[in-house]
Amino acid sequence: MNAQDKDKQALRLRLPLYNLGCGSGDAITAERILARQPGVIEVYANPATEAAYIVYDSALTAPSHLSQVIQQAGFGPREDLGQS
């Protein structure tokens, strides 16, 4: 695979983050969790915008997988538990 092929597979994703604390600790944790995923090339989590900006290889991962990873880590949207 040459550099052009890699560029074609590298996509950008903005993934909303929820439940971040006031400091940057949670953002760093989210970055580390995402960076460990196969196919993630670059990641930056911004607590001010409550989002992670990800460059990933589309041949190795998908937005749905990355979203699921964030959900499992506790940074995804709360599931509606229904109303009383």
Q: What is the 3-state secondary structure (H, E, C) of 17-39?
A: CCCCCCCCHHHHHHHHHHHCCCC
Listed in sequence order, the residues at least 6 apart from 23 whose beta carbon sits closer than 8 Å to its beta carbon are 47
DSSP 54: E
Residue 84: pLDDT band (50, 70, 90) is: very low
Mean pLDDT of the 55-77 span: 95
- Does pLDDT of 15 surpass 60? yes
Domain boundaries, the chain: 12-56
pTM of the model: 0.81
* Nearest alpha carbon to residue 73 among 40, 42, 32: 32
